Structure formats: structure tokens, C-alpha cells
Copies of this chain bind each other. A is one copy, B any other.
Amino acid sequence: MGLFSKSLVAASSKPLILGILQEGTSYGYRIIQRVKEISNGQIEWSDGMLYPVLHRLEKEVLIESKWMQSEEGRHRKYYSITEAGKEALHVEKAHWTNMNNVMQNLWDLNPSTSNN
């Protein structure tokens, strides 16, 4: 479906969601739009993919939810990041950055020269 491989989506979903909720409280549908925004349209999550992840993160107490009525009268489940979630985001950032450094090191050692 998307541009990215399943495993890359899996590895990025947790830090992305936590990062977005660090910006402030949000809800499922809005998170999907925000992911599309910050990726310049590259990442298009489906709702069937997102909600199970949100439920998992809530079970891990990294985020918490509250049903609320918006001004327009819409019934929405608003998520916010917990203290544990902030710490987890910190750790996720570090892991991601470390792994990225390893990759870049390896690739710099043998830069691909051909254009295929």
C-alpha cells in the first residue's frame, strides 16, 4: 500500500504517535492527518492500522484517553501523552538516532556508485 515497508512502519509508529501527542492532545482521525502532514504526504495511515496501536500504547500506559464532546457536538476520544510516555519517547528517540548512525556509518563505508 504505502511507500514504506511494513517493518519500517512498525518501527516508526510508536515514536511518531508519541511525538505528535507531545505537541498536545489529539484524537485518532486527526493523528492520521498530522502524520500525512509532517511526512509531506508520504505516510498515509489507515484507521484500521492506527487504532490497534493506540489501544496498545494505552495499555502500556504511555498515553491515556478521555471521551469528550467537541464544540460542534462531535463525540471524540482524545488522547494525551503520559509521563511514562514522555520517557518512552525519549528512549525511542535515542534508539532511532543510534540505529540511524549505525546505518549511515555502514553506508558511508561503501557508497553505492552505480545509478541503478
What residues make up the interface of A, taking CB atoms closer than 8 Å to B?
3-5, 7-8, 10-12, 14-16, 19-20, 22-23, 38-39, 42-43, 83, 86-87, 89-90, 92-93, 95-96, 98-100, 102-103, 105-107, 109-110, 112, 114, 116
With the chains together, A86 CA to B112 CA distance in Å? 9
How many subunits of this chain does the assembly comprise?
A: 2
Cβ contact within 8 Å between A102 and B23: no
Residue on B with the closest CB to A18?
A: B106
Residue on B with the closest CB to A39?
A: B102
With the chains together, A22 CA to B110 CA distance in Å? 7
- What are some 21 contacts across the A-B interface (CB < 8 A)? A3-B98, A4-B98, A4-B99, A5-B11, A7-B11, A8-B95, A8-B99, A10-B10, A11-B12, A12-B99, A12-B103, A16-B102, A16-B103, A19-B103, A19-B106, A19-B107, A22-B110, A23-B109, A38-B109, A39-B102, A96-B103
